[in-house]
Amino acid sequence: MQPFFSELANKTVIVTGGSKGIGKDIALTFAKLNANVVISGRSETALNEALGELHTLNKKCIAVQGDMSDIAVVKDLIDQAASEFGTVDVLVNNAGVNIAKPAMEVTEEDWDTVLDLNLKSAFFASQAAAKYMLAQKSGKIINIASQMAFVGYFKRAAYCSSKGGLVQMTKALAVEWAKLGIRVNAVAPTFVETEFTEKMFEDEAFKQDVESRILLEGLSQPQDVSGAVLYLASNLANFVTGETLKVDGGWTTI
C-alpha cells in the first residue's frame, strides 16, 4: 500500500502568492512531498528567501517574479512552469489582497485593485493552466477563497465581493471541466496567524472580536489551510469538485 500523498511526488504544483504567509506554507507542504513547486510573488527578496527554504527540502522548485494583477504575467507563470517541468498538475490560486476601508470610502482604484488580484487573476490563471490540464486530461485547481465569501464583515465590501465571486467561479469552472478531467475546488479560511495579520491582531478589540466568532480554541495557523489544500490536491479528493471547504473554526456555522 502506497503512503498517503505519495502520488504527488513529481507533480507540478503552482502556488501564486507563494513567497509569504499561507502561500509559502502551502508551497513548503508540497515540496516536502517531492513535488515540482513553482511559486510567484511581487517581491524578489521575499521570493528568493522562500525559494531558499523550498530548496532545503527539494531542489525541484522555481520562483517567478511578477504582479499577478497583470494577466500577461499570469500566463507567463503557467507557461514557465510547463516549460520547466513538462506538466501543470495542480494550480493553487492563493495571491490576494485586502484594502480595509468603510464602504463609503472605497474608491474605484481600491475596488479594481482587490477584484483584479483576488478574482480576475485567479480566472485567467485557471484558464491558462487548463490549457495544459485539458491536454493531459487531468488536473486540480484549488482557489483560496475566504469565510468572507459567506458572511459579511466590517471594512471588507470589496474583499467579500471578490471572495464570493471566487466561490461561484469555482462552481462554474467545475461544471465546465468535470468531464474533461479537471477538478476545481476552493478552500475558505478564517483569519490566519501570519506576518500579514500580525499587525491586525495588535488591535486587541479586533482580535477579541475575531476570536469570539470562532467556535474552536485560538486562531487558525497556516498549516490548517495547507492541510485542506493537500487533501483537495490528492487522490483522496478525486471524487470532489465544485466544493468549497471551509477552514474557519466554525465561524460560519452560527
- Kindly provide the b/e burial profile for residues 139-156, where b requires at least 16 CB atoms within 10 angstroms of the residue's own CB: bbbbbbbbbbbbeebeeb
Active-site residues, by number, are 159
Helix ranges restricted to H, the chain: 21-32, 44-57, 71-85, 108-115, 121-136, 157-177, 204-213, 222-233
What the block records as the C-alpha cell of 6 is 505519495
Q: Which residues contact 68 (CB under 8 A, 6 or more apart)?
A: 16, 17, 40, 74, 77, 95, 117, 121, 125
Q: Which residues contact 160 (CB under 8 A, 6 or more apart)?
A: 146, 148, 149, 152, 153
Backbone angles phi, psi at 182, to 5 degrees: -110, 125
Q: Which residues contact 231 (CB under 8 A, 6 or more apart)?
A: 237, 245
